[in-house]
Structure 1
Amino acid sequence: MTTRPGIAAIAALLDAEGYRERPIAVLDLDAFDANLEDLARRASGRPIRIASKSLRVRALLERALAHPATRGVLAYTLPEALWLVDHGARDVVVAYPTAEAGALRRLSARPDALRAITLMVDESAQADLILAATADLRLGRDRPPLRVALEVDVSYAPLPGVRVGAHRSPVRTPAQAAALAREIQDRPALQLVGMMAYEGQIAGVADAAATPYGAAVRAMKRLSRPDVARRRAAAVAAVREVAELEFVNGGGTGSLESTAAESAVTEVAAGSGLIGPGLFDGFRDFSPRPALHLGVSVVRRPAPGVATVLGGGWVASGPPGPDRLPTIAHPPGLRYAPQEAAGEVQTPVLGPAADRLRVGDTVWLRHAKAGEPAEHALTYLLVAGDPEPALVGAVPTYRGEGALFL
């Protein structure tokens, strides 16, 4: 992605306002809001559940949830969900199973949280763990049941031994889904209220490259979409024979259109698309605006054509590779030194533009994934106004509020 003039304008604004400390994280609210509107357009009326892991900033979660196209939070841990309920959340689905007995006990002791939070299960052992952790608290208590949702795997397996997608649920067939639903229903302390099926092979894999690999990814997605729709619909129908479902959740930022078009799905999930991280530069069908900018200081000029910034090594999770490195967004004309790349405490950058950098200048990066910078930054500085941005405030990240969930 080419450098947006907005990054240069934001850099000039911070210099004029005297914001000299680095590293710094700056969130462009205009870009965030434009991305939210685009997600709503792409969802075609399906409610969007906001994936909190892609934000990890309460104020941004609340801003997204104020939009009429959104519904509730898709959290990543139970302690996070409990914390969000403490701050007013009333509809939180925990996207991953939990084995945290202490958090389960806290949930069981709180009627408000029991009504607001839905846990995820994909095998009976998880249901047994939930009940074992909360059994003594529930004896003799008139409390709401523990709300649970069932996750079905919709990774793509076109041939024996060939599988594309995230390793998530062991439940793959309608019969398996119905059997687990019956096991949940046989436990009176649990209430099955929802289903989830995430097609990571469509939502999370870049497909724009004009290479044989890019062509293969596009072909995989084209073949996978109808397979996902068919298997998800069959699983939902089988489970609805066992229990009434409040919601069926699917999709992600990269697959909103196709997921929202499925009649079996009642809501879609998205979060990364609000931020527009570097990984989305490689998607063909949509292009979110970069909203989060990370500034690091030049501290060395070790040789002609080389400048070194302090830090910079916030490398994204996932399979190691160049696409997990931060994108060097501004100034243009910089690249990583191949022997160091994005380093833990120093990052050399190369190219003609490096000769124009001086000690104290700022190099601006975009993280490859949306939510992970919030685990490094305590605060996001907020700017708004295009083409001339202005400072409009600052908000703490989860970590800035003293909250750490993973």
Structure 2
Amino acid sequence: MNLRERYDTATAAFEAPFAVVDLAAFRANAADLVRRAAGKPIRVASKSVRCRALLEDVLAMDGFAGIMAFTLPEGLWLAAEGVSDDILVAYPTADRAAIAELAASDAAARTVTLMVDCPEHLDMIERAAGDRRIRVCIDIDASYRPLGGRVRIGALRSPLRTAAEVAAFAEQILKRPGLDLVGLMAYESQIAGVGDLPPGRPARGRVIAAMQQRSRLELARRRAAIVRAVRNLTDLEFVNGGGTGSVEKTVAERAVTEVAAGSGLYHPHLFDQYSNFTGRPAALFALPVVRRPGPGVATCLGGGYLASGPGDAIRLPVPYLPTGLSYSPNEGAGEVQTPLLGRAADGLAVGDRVWFRHTKAGELCERFDAVHLIDGDRFVRTVPTYRGEGRTFL
């Protein structure tokens, strides 16, 4: 039985559109992340999963510890549900009501750590939290700036870059009785989030690989200096870095105590573009064929599930099974219909399914209120996504 037949058999009782997670692939991807982390704990990036049941499953596996949440309300919810007792909110918050809610709970205040990178964050937290001591983590700019800083490669995140800047900010935190500095974080998006095997562009891939090597060496030296400077001021519980695309490179730094990862569990098609690891597609969605406009064309219902980021063709999901299908250049992935072109279309009848892979990981769960968990050709159970639990945080 081939892969498409297994998927169709396992989900025969369901009407498309729907989403699935292939548990065998999910487990294999998790095991490979642990192998690459070489003994350092992996903090699960919930943004890339967005399903409470699957977060609980992966946290029960050896090698995973803690959650990296994407909003404070999400972190509070996961803490209240007992999903983890160690939740780092990866992005600064300006949600005063959520900070007050955090401060009102002994358990949440012990569990949730907030991200900060400027005095305004500290002021807002202290005003909203009152007398409660709040755990905070400093976000560090991990971008690469060659040519004397005239070029910036990487995400626009923290304004704090040098050891002196971070240490000075740490001193500000330590002077505030309402704040506990417990960690540092630096996300090297230009390494962890950019593949060095862009399809059909080998020369660009070589440029990316060279940039990443230089960036990795620069960041390793700078991150080590930052960690030394802050540890001279206070003890730290953790130093977080990296992502799915850079796990083995990030954990090689002695200064890093843990790595973040999440996308590698689902392995969306964006992560096919990395030379340092190979994952198995674990999260997919199925669309029904609803019409046949002509030879070499099969039209599916829905499908316009574009990923965030710059507006380019790679943000489109890819037709996965059967192989050999492509989008109409005039329609692409549509809101209510998606025509697919190719010889494989002639083997599809109305009511058949086409299986797709999303560009990114957790964003798929914003489109579906549940995912069907399958193992081989067996249906295991259906679990709600964040959306299915009424939790649309962004």
User: Per the shorter chain, which TM-score range?
Assistant: over 0.9
2:53 aligned to which of 53, 56, 59: 59
Instruction: Say if 1:325 and 1:367, in contact at 8 Å, map to a contact too.
Output: yes
Instruction: Say if 1:8 and 1:330, in contact at 8 Å, map to a contact too.
Output: no
* SS of corresponding position for 2:173: helix
Question: Does residue 1:95 correspond to 2:90, yes or no?
Answer: yes
Partner of 1:185: 174
1:76 aligned to which of 70, 79, 92: 70
CA distance in 1, matches of 2:265, 2:291: 34
TM-score by length of 2: 0.97
CA distance in 1, matches of 2:172, 2:219: 25
Instruction: Say if 2:10 and 2:374, in contact at 8 Å, map to a contact too.
Output: no
* SS of corresponding position for 1:164: coil
Q: Encode CA deviations 1:348-405: one digit per residue, 9 max, x unaligned.
A: 10011112211111111000100001111111101113xxx21111111011111111
2:385 aligned to which of 397, 400, 405: 397
Question: Does residue 1:342 correspond to 2:342, yes or no?
Answer: no
1:277 aligned to which of 242, 265, 268: 268
* SS of corresponding position for 1:112: helix
CA distance in 2, matches of 1:77, 1:282: 28
Bigger Cα displacement from structure 2, 115-124 vs 298-307: 298-307
Question: Does residue 1:166 correspond to 2:155, yes or no?
Answer: yes
Q: CA deviation at 1:240?
A: 1.1
Instruction: Say if 1:253 and 1:272, in contact at 8 Å, map to a contact too.
Output: yes
Question: Does residue 1:369 correspond to 2:360, yes or no?
Answer: yes
Which amino acid in structure 2 is aligned with residue 86 of structure 1?
A
CA distance in 2, matches of 1:100, 1:7: 45
Q: Encode CA deviations 1:275-313: one digit per residue, 9 max, x unaligned.
A: 010101111111111001100011121222111111111
2:7 aligned to which of 1, 10, 17: 10
Partner of 2:192: 203
2:214 aligned to which of 218, 223, 229: 223
Q: CA deviation at 1:12?
A: 3.0
Structure 2: runs of 5 or more not aligned: none
Which amino acid in structure 1 is aligned with residue 173 of structure 2?
I
Instruction: Say if 2:283 and 2:357, in contact at 8 Å, map to a contact too.
Output: yes
Q: CA deviation at 1:54?
A: 0.3
Instruction: Say if 1:196 and 1:250, in contact at 8 Å, map to a contact too.
Output: yes
CA distance in 2, matches of 1:253, 1:5: 28
Q: CA deviation at 1:193?
A: 0.4
CA distance in 2, matches of 1:212, 1:391: 43
Partner of 1:132: 127
CA distance in 2, matches of 1:178, 1:391: 53
Partner of 1:29: 23
Q: CA deviation at 1:6?
A: 2.4
2:228 aligned to which of 232, 237, 255: 237
* SS of corresponding position for 1:127: helix
* Superposition map of 1:247-326 within 5 A: 247-326=238-317
| Number of residue pairs aligned between Structure 1 and Structure 2 | 390
Bigger Cα displacement from structure 2, 216-225 vs 6-15: 6-15
Bigger Cα displacement from structure 2, 170-179 vs 155-164: 155-164
Which amino acid in structure 2 is aligned with residue 83 of structure 1?
W
Which amino acid in structure 2 is aligned with residue 118 of structure 1?
T
CA distance in 2, matches of 1:48, 1:217: 25
CA distance in 1, matches of 2:338, 2:195: 26
Which amino acid in structure 2 is aligned with residue 14 of structure 1?
T
Partner of 1:383: 374
Q: Encode CA deviations 1:120-147: one digit per residue, 9 max, x unaligned.
A: 0011111111112223xx3xxxx5x100
Which amino acid in structure 2 is aligned with residue 99 of structure 1?
A
Instruction: Say if 1:333 and 1:353, in contact at 8 Å, map to a contact too.
Output: yes
Q: Considering only aligned residues, what root-mean-square deviation do their CA atoms show, in Å?
A: 1.2
1:156 aligned to which of 136, 140, 144: 144
Instruction: Say if 2:284 and 2:356, in contact at 8 Å, map to a contact too.
Output: yes
CA distance in 2, matches of 1:185, 1:7: 57
